[in-house]
């Protein structure tokens, strides 16, 4: 095999003005009006480029020089080797996982195959749940659920991030009354914290109380991140005392932390994110571990468009139970989420299929990218 080399990296700092504000549950009191993303394009001497993004907090960081130091001159097809080489990035702040996505993009484009096919997966649509991002009152949330059910979704994830989860539990009860067969998930977002937000973390007693309420509501697939992501023992105790499955892992860092979840019996549902937590390769390893130990594998996907697509390929290559489909209009729409793509990824009849083009399989809107670049 002829050697291929990464010859350079282009970085674009994108700032997209959202048509309507979004009020994320994990940032109480904050009104998001922009979607900020760092886009990286890895160029090679073979004329093949791979793309990836860092969104959220990482979207406000500039670490192009670090990326160049670790990647330029390397063969992008040596994915495992480069992931190991990039591990020290954790010492500077950014995690290496999203760069692994660009390596897989190059590898797929060279082979003329989508990433999921390189990993032995299929293009079958994956059952999706509609994932909310805001905390809303009963009437607004009921309207939302009615719309999603009309679109074919059979499951919805709600939020209860806050000092007082009672209003959110009341929303869940009212939804259950109107939709007795709808599968619900509840996300507490207590696994990690936002520095500029003052919200107390739940105690074990708080988490257990919510879990018991969800048991009473019924048909709840899981309670997500009710405690800190590194509180393996506390999560295990909660799992032992609750009939509601416990989920987490989106912001854990590396496959070894998922091994610890399994070792300590902390979770029923493993939720790595290809961009945030494990990379695509690591995510497939977590899926195999979940299968071995009889656990559910349902990755986190709340990212920008490229991050969502990267997770779709990981889902299509594994035995995932659900695809998280982030949607909470009017603020968080597929168009706002996927603004750097030519076309947003849409769910059809409550399911999402991975793109079938080479690599990540999607086309970027380069005209828009050039307009939105504030570098």
DSSP assignment string, 137-148: -HHHHHHHHHHH
Residue 92 CA to residue 85 CA, distance in Å, equals 14
Strand partners, 348: 351
Question: Both tokens of residue 318?
Answer: 């594994």
Distance between the two ends of the chain, CA-based, in angstroms? 37
CA-closest candidate to residue 228, choices 211, 252, 209, 208: 252
CA-closest candidate to residue 270, choices 289, 253, 256, 244: 289
Residue 259 CA to residue 265 CA, distance in Å, equals 10
Q: What is the pLDDT of residue 90?
A: 73
DSSP string of 302-319?
A: -S-HHHHHHHHHHHHTTT
The distance of Cα 370 from the centroid of its chain, to the nearest Å, equals 26
Residues of the chain with pLDDT under 50: 59
Q: What is the pLDDT of residue 60?
A: 60
How far apart, in Å, are the Cα atoms of 22 and each of 19, 29, 275, 301, 337?
Answer: 10, 11, 22, 18, 11
The distance of Cα 326 from the centroid of its chain, to the nearest Å, equals 9
pTM for this one? Answer: 0.95
* Complete domains list, the chain, with CATH: 6-112+364-372 (3.30.390.10), 118-352 (3.20.20.120)
How far apart, in Å, are the Cα atoms of 180 and each of 173, 175, 177, 219?
Answer: 10, 8, 6, 8
Q: What is the pLDDT of residue 295?
A: 98
Q: What is the pLDDT of residue 27?
A: 84
């Amino acid at each position: 095999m002829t050697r291929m080399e990464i010859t350079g990296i282009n970085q674009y700092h994108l700032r997209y003005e959202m048509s309507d504000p979004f009020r994320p549950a994990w940032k109480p009191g904050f009104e998001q009006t922009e979607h900020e993303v760092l886009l990286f394009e890895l160029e090679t001497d073979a004329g093949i480029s791979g793309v990836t993004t860092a969104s959220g907090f990482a979207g406000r960081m500039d670490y192009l020089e670090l990326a160049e130091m670790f990647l330029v001159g390397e063969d992008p097809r040596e994915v495992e080797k480069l992931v190991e080489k990039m591990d020290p990035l954790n010492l500077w702040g950014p995690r290496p996982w999203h760069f692994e996505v660009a390596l897989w993009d190059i590898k797929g484009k060279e082979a003329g195959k989508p990433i999921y096919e390189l990993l032995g997966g299929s293009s079958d649509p994956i059952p999706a749940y509609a994932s909310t991002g805001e905390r809303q009152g009963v009437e607004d949330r009921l309207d939302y659920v009615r719309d999603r059910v009309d679109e074919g979704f059979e499951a919805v994830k709600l939020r209860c991030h806050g000092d007082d989860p009672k209003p959110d539990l009341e929303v869940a009860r009212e939804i259950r009354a109107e939709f007795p067969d709808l599968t619900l998930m509840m996300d507490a977002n207590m696994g990690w914290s936002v520095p500029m937000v003052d919200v107390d973390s739940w105690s074990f007693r708080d988490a257990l109380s919510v879990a018991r309420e969800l048991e009473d509501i019924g048909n709840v697939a899981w309670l997500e991140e009710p405690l800190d992501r590194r509180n393996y023992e506390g999560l295990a105790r909660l799992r032992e005392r609750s009939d509601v499955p416990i989920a987490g892992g989106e912001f854990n860092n590396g496959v070894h932390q998922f091994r610890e979840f399994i070792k300590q019996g902390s979770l029923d549902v493993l939720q790595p994110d290809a961009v945030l937590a494990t990379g695509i390769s690591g995510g497939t390893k977590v899926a195999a571990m979940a299968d071995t130990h009889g656990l559910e594998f349902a990755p986190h996907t709340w990212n920008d468009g490229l991050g969502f697509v990267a997770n779709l390929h990981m889902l299509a290559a594994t035995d995932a139970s659900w695809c998280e489909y982030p949607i909470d209009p009017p603020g968080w729409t597929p168009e706002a989420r996927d603004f750097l793509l030519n076309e947003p990824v849409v769910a059809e009849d409550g399911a999402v299929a991975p793109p079938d083009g080479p690599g990540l399989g999607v086309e970027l809107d380069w005209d828009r990218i050039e307009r939105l670049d504030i570098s």
